[in-house]
Amino acid sequence: MTGQNPADTGRSREPERPLDRADHAVDADPDGPAGHGESRWPMAAAVIASAMLTLLLPDDLRLGPRWALPLAEGLLLVALIAGDPGRISRRSTVLRAVSIALVVVLAGSAIWSTIQLIDDLIHGGTETNSASALLLAGGSVWASTVLAFSLLYFELDSGGPAARAHHMPHSPALAFPQQLNPEVSPPNWRPRYIDYLYLGFTNSTALSPTDVMPLAPWAKCVMILQSIVSLIILGLVVARAVNVLA
């Protein structure tokens, strides 16, 4: 028979206790993913606005029939809302694919309209002989590019809005002022769609980063492309409109 260690006889074994919630919440976010999930309605409003701008474009600046792109964008948006209504917090491969498809449709449509507008300005088009028609068409194309690129940043940065609701990476693709200087931001700050809309607008007007710094190579390439597109639209449309008015 094996003897018992005398050192063990003096020890009092502590009774086991069930793990409470605090044992699992050391590294957990106190608000949880739902608390940081962004409302889908700002993003949905941007998609609807882009569809309305497409309807305002002349036929030669639009990709496909008048109803085709708005219908495709509407169906993709309805699928996203049905799959993750309310706040964007559900991580799903299918929803992620639908979101990327929607952004591709919006960005492709905006770039196509830009190319067609440039062609009309160079070779002459129906809207290029009227300053008001040209400014309306050019403004619609420019606004469409701002919305498309803002949604592109929104969907690609840090894995998308659903991923950001669960976890913010230490090395984001786009560095906002609140991330560069946490002292000026509230705890557990996340970028929202309005932040990406502001990025898209300022990059299209200043033609360079303002306060949001691109860190990832893809972010730098996309911002370069957006600046080129905006520069071409603003430069050629304004110059042509001035010539028509003169």
pLDDT tens sequence across 177-228: 988 887 887 888 889 999 999 999 999 999 888 889 999 999 999 999 999 9
The end-to-end CA distance of the chain, in Å, is 111
3 state SS of 127 = helix
Residue 44 backbone dihedrals phi, psi, to 5 degrees: -65, -40
Residue 33 to residue 38: CA distance in whole angstroms: 10
Mean pLDDT of 227-241: 86
Output the pLDDT for position 246: 61
In this prediction, what percent of the chain has a pLDDT beyond 70? 84
Half-sphere exposure at residue 6, Cβ-oriented, CA atoms within 13 angstroms: 0
CB of 157 closer than 8 Å to CB of 219:
yes
Residue 106 to residue 55: CA distance in whole angstroms: 13
Output the pLDDT for position 209: 85
Strand bridging mode 174-175 / 87-88: unpaired
Question: Per residue in 139-180, pLDDT tens?
Answer: 899 999 999 999 999 999 988 888 888 888 878 899 999 888
Output the pLDDT for position 218: 94
Q: Is the pLDDT of residue 99 over 50?
A: yes
Residue 231 to residue 211: CA distance in whole angstroms: 20
For the entire predicted model, the pTM comes to: 0.81
Token reading at 125: 């088009």
